[in-house]
Amino acid sequence: MVPVLARGQVGRIFENLVENAYTSQSGGRLQTYVPVLDSHGVDRVVSLDGGAPLFIQVKSQQHRSARGHLTFQVVESEAGRYARWLLLLVTGTPEAISEAYLVPGPDWRRLASRTAGSRGIALLEAGILPHSRRWSRYRVDPTELGKRLLALSPPRLAGRSARPAERARPGGGAQQPIARTSEEGAYFELWLLTTLMASGDELALYRPAVDFAGRDLCVQLAGTSSYLYVQVKGTRDQRAPDRAEFHVPRSTFTLDPKVVYVFAYAPPAGPPLCLWVVDAVELDRLSPKRDEHHINFDAAIEGPDPRWAHRRLAPSSLSAALIARLRL
């Protein structure tokens, strides 16, 4: 006998089917971020080439009622009121999606009926018939889901970083970056994640499903369309006394003010001591153009620093600094 899948397993399977569909149909241009905590009514954050993201909640239903309805329920407080929040309703089997509806948040709130759940939680509910005129405008062929999301996705900003005029420093080749270990990189990524999670529920955090775009997190001001892409660069080394140096590969760099770098210095033993929060545009503008392959960030750990002192923060101030940027 084939074991029956738990409800949560079925939901996760359909979320993965949705992600597989739009990723392959878009040729990989639609990049996915998944929630660190499933508490903000978003199952997938989807970005076209790193542009402004779509926030998607996926609801699945395998069975129709005796009258032929597909019934979907969404917790009212999780139905987004903000731009680019979409509800994707799907049915089918754990092997394939057979029918799908893509509904903007305001439309779902207008068309669904308000009801109460078993614990008195307010729900928005709708029953959809296969040939319903009310819902036909939202119906999307599962084989064209990627195409529909591409059409809805804002494009990435087209700015590019200026290449250095000189390929090497006088008297020698370009300075080589300090070698990092994967363990060191993982430490700073986990530190970033736990630091932001400890700040409360004002920030919604999403990790990339595949880490190839040079971004460690998508950070959303919860309940809004405001977002940042955050990349952490950490080191325990000092290139010179009281100075920390970091290197951003130009191959993953995008001249986009929504991309923010968190440069963190930690002593050989212990947590980060200080950090700098710099967006990509400012980083490109103020960093010396001396390396063809990397953008170099060099800052004083303590004391005067005419270039970067205004961006130096205590680690405890990181969440507040990101929230302030998200509210701009």
C-alpha–C-alpha distance, residues 148 and 142, integer Å: 10
Is the pLDDT reported for residue 180 higher than 60? no
C-alpha–C-alpha distance, residues 318 and 328, integer Å: 16
Q: Give residue-wise pLDDT tens across range 269-295.
A: 899 999 999 999 999 999 988 888 999
Mean pLDDT of 87-113: 96
Tokens of 246: 């970091």
C-alpha–C-alpha distance, residues 194 and 131, integer Å: 47
DSSP-based three-state secondary structure for 185? helix
Band (211; pLDDT cuts 50, 70, 90): confident
Q: Give residue-wise pLDDT tens across range 4-41.
A: 778 789 999 999 999 999 999 999 999 999 999 988 99
> CB-based contacts of 99: which residues, under 8 Å, 6+ apart?
70, 90, 91, 92, 130, 139, 142
> CB-based contacts of 68: which residues, under 8 Å, 6+ apart?
129, 130
- pLDDT value for 3: 65
C-alpha–C-alpha distance, residues 45 and 31, integer Å: 8
C-alpha–C-alpha distance, residues 92 and 61, integer Å: 8
pTM (2 d.p.)? 0.90
- pLDDT value for 4: 72
Buried b (16+ CB within 10 A) or exposed e, 259-291: bbbbbbbbeeeeebebbbbbbbbbbbeebeebb
- pLDDT value for 165: 46
- pLDDT value for 203: 97
> Which of the pair, 124 or 118, is modelled with greater confidence?
124
Band (171; pLDDT cuts 50, 70, 90): very low
Q: Give residue-wise pLDDT tens across range 264-274.
A: 999 998 999 99
Q: Which amino acid is at 58?
A: V
> Which of the pair, 71 or 180, is modelled with greater confidence?
71
Mean pLDDT of 202-221: 91
Is the pLDDT reported for residue 178 higher than 70? no
- Map out the domains of the chain with their CATH numbers: 7-152 (3.40.1350.10), 182-326 (3.40.1350.10)
Radius of gyration from C-alpha coordinates of the chain: 23
Is the pLDDT reported for residue 237 higher than 60? yes
- pLDDT value for 155: 85
DSSP assignment, residue 56? Answer: E
- pLDDT value for 160: 56
